[in-house]
Structure 1
Amino acid sequence: MTSEPASEPAAPVEAPTQGAPKKSSGRLIAVLAVLALGGGAYGTFPLWRDLLGLPSAPASESFEVENLRAELAAATNRIAQLEAKPPADGSDAARLDRLEEALKSAPARAAAPIAEIESISKQLADLKRYSAEASAVLRLAERLEQLDLAVRDLQAKRSSAAALLLAVGQLREAVAAGRPFDSEWRAARVLAGEDTESLGLLDQIKPQAGEGIAPRAALVQSFDVLAPALIRAEILPEGDGWWRRTADRLLSLVTIRREDGAAVGANAAAVVGRAQAAVSRGDLAAALAELDALSPGPAQAAAPWIAAAKARQGADKALSQMTAQAVALAGSGVRVGP
């Protein structure tokens, strides 16, 4: 009796992983069905072996048959479990498709942030440029405001200087007419402000502001009357007794010939003649210089006129300088006044 060849044990069947496609699952079921049929035939081999008159398998082969039966039972149980599970709904495949599409579209999505970053960078550059332009506009506006303030200040300075010039003109008119000029002096003093030169010139004529200063025409007329008295004063005796008063009345009856301006000498007649010629031509400085040479008697008699002439000379000089100063202030734009 020939022995049957030992059958190879059936390989364990691995269950398909969850989520495999329907086609792979069908193939696996078909293979398992074939194995089940083969295993069933092999398991019932002792029954139909005797019917066919085949020799019995040895004990070792019986042990292998039992193993095959156990493995077949396990495979059958596994197949039953797989068949009991609901069929795959394709969600995993759809998820894989989405992942594949996501991988394909990843470069395009990565390019979008880059483009957005470039756009933001451009906007930042534009903002910086606009900021720089805005700063330039602000600086120009500040400069324009400064220039406007400077122009206004210059106009105010020129206006105040022009007002001072007008006040000095009114002051000169009052002084030239011999009128009291206290109000004109005060107005000029206010408009002079802190200009020290103008203030100093105004202080020179302040003592005569209440009474005024004799005009030039009045000085000429008064010197014509004073000239004979100056000549007589040199002849009259000193003192203030009756003899001097009598001699003065007698000499007043005598006509004294006036010397012309070319008279030479230091006597009263020559000095008075030269001084009177200078007064007639308006040269008070020359007249005062001549009168300084008078002897004490005539000098005492001429003292009031000399004081008035010096006041007129000083006022004219101060007012001329004030006029020049006011013109200079108006031209330079230096602010004066309150």
Structure 2
Amino acid sequence: MSVTPDPTEPSPPPYGRSRLLGPMFWLMIVFGLMCVLAGYALSRFGPHLFPVKPKPAVSSDLAGVRPLAPAPASPADEPARLDIAPAAPNSAAISELTERIDALEAEQSRTAEAAASALAAAALMEAAQTSRPFADELAALDAVSPPSAELRALRRIAERGAPSRAALAASFPDYAARAAGAARAPGESAGLMTRLAAALSRVVTLRQVGEVPGVGVDALLARAERQVEEGDLDHALKTLDGLPPGGRDALAPWRAAAEMRADIDRRISAVRVQALEDLARLARSGA
């Protein structure tokens, strides 16, 4: 059994037509019209809104002109250039300079050695003034000084030394008293009274001191004592040479010590003077 539709009922519209005339369709139509209007506006008003700056035209007068090359400078304008080749080393000049340097070094070395020798001689003289040995100070001087007769002689007595001048002056009165008693000793032909007086003088010795005139035993001993106190050993020894044999024998131990002291002082003084002269000579030659 079939049902016949009612001819009076309206039929629904077709599906494809309703989608084509929807809102999207009209939006696309409006967007297309706007693009057309924008293109027309740019073509119509674009040259006035965005003018193009023309490039500067090259002048026809200067178009064919080529840049000039810089003119070469004249010899007068250029600074003088000296082609100085390095000079070849002169062997003679180098040799002379080397010799001068060697001479200066040798002179400085000699000056230093002379100064060291002078200082060592001063130290030796100070040490030798005492009664103690001075072998160490002599070895220091010997190491910086040239060989000499004075140094060789000092080596023999440096180990034991010699009494100082002060010690010799302090011991002289006792030896002088013995010398005075021995000088008055009677000879073998003397009488009994003379021998008794000589024996008594050995117990109590009377001797004149101070300024004693004449050339007698007391005068010689007094003069020598004063010279010893003043440190003049050389003149004191010469004065004692005038004593009679008995007096000289009594003074023999003291005289040996005094002669050693005088010899030490004399030799050390000569070494020191020589060292100072060498130093002064080198100083004058280097000035």
Q: TM-score, normalized by length of structure 1?
A: 0.52
Q: Does the 8 Å CA contact 2:172/2:254 hold for their aligned counterparts? A: yes
Q: Higher mean Cα deviation, 292-301 or 142-151?
A: 142-151
Name the CA shift for 1:275/1:259 in 2 (closer, same or farther; >3 Å).
Answer: same
Q: Retained in 2: the 8 A contact 1:180–1:210?
A: yes
CA distance in 1, matches of 2:179, 2:205: 13
Within a 5 Å distance, the mapping from 1:43-122 to structure 2 comes to: none
Structure 2, gaps ≥5 residues long? 1-82
Q: Distance between the aligned counterparts of 1:331 and 1:142, measured in 2? A: 30
The residue identity in structure 2 corresponding to 1:263 is: P
Instruction: Trace 1:213-252 onto structure 2 (pairs within 5 A).
Output: 213-237=162-186, 250-252=200-202
CA contact (8 A) 2:181 2:205 kept: no
Which letter does structure 1 place at the counterpart of 2:166? Answer: A
- Structure 1 CA distance, aligned partners of 2:187 and 2:111? 60
**What is the rounded CA distance, in whole Å, between the counterparts of 2:241 and 2:133 in structure 1?**
29
Change (3 A) 1:144 1:250: same
The one of 247, 253, 257 aligned to 1:304: 253
Structure ranking higher in helix proportion = 1
Structure 1, gaps ≥5 residues long: 1-125
**Partners of 2:134 and 2:158 within 8 A in 1:** yes
- Give the match for residue 46 of structure 1: none
Structure having the higher Rg:
1
SS of equivalent to 1:263: coil
Taking a change above 3 Å as real, the CA distance of residues 147 and 299 of structure 1, as seen in their structure-2 partners, is same
Of residues 169, 193, 205, the one that matches 2:146 is: 193
- The aligned counterpart of 2:235 is 286
Distance 1:172 1:235 in 2: 40
Shifted more, 179-188 versus 292-301: the winner is 179-188
| CA root-mean-square deviation | 2.8
More moved, 272-281 vs 292-301: 272-281
The change in CA–CA distance for 1:167 and 1:248 in structure 2 (over 3 A counts) is: farther
Task: Mark the CA change 1:238 to 1:308 in structure 2 (over 3 Å): closer, same or farther.
Answer: farther
TM-score using structure 2 length: 0.60
SS of 2:213's equivalent? coil
2:88 maps to what in 1?
Answer: 134
Q: Does 1:167 align with 2:123?
A: no
CA contact (8 A) 1:263 1:274 kept: no
Residue number in structure 1 paired with 2:224: 275
Aligned residue identity for 2:211: G
Aligned equivalent of 1:98:
none
Cα distance between partner residues in 2 of 1:286 and 1:311:
14
Give the Cα–Cα distance (whole angstroms) in 2 for the partners of residues 274 and 311 of structure 1: 21
Seen in structure 2, the aligned counterparts of structure 1 residues 308 and 261 have a Cα distance that, compared at 3 Å, is: farther
Aligned residues: 196
Deviations 1:139-193 (Å, cap 9, x if unpaired)? 4443333222222111111111111112212211121012111222222222223
Q: Is 1:256 equivalent to 2:199 in the alignment?
A: no
Q: CA separation in 2, counterparts of 1:183 and 1:201?
A: 16
Amino-acid identity (%)? 31
Match of 1:95 in 2: none
CA distance in 2, matches of 1:212, 1:248: 37
Describe the superposition over 1:43-88 as per-residue Cα deviations: whole angstroms up to 9, x where unpaired: xxxxxxxxxxxxxxxxxxxxxxxxxxxxxxxxxxxxxxxxxxxxxx
Once the two structures are TM-superposed, the CA of residue 299 in structure 1 deviates from its matched residue by 0.5
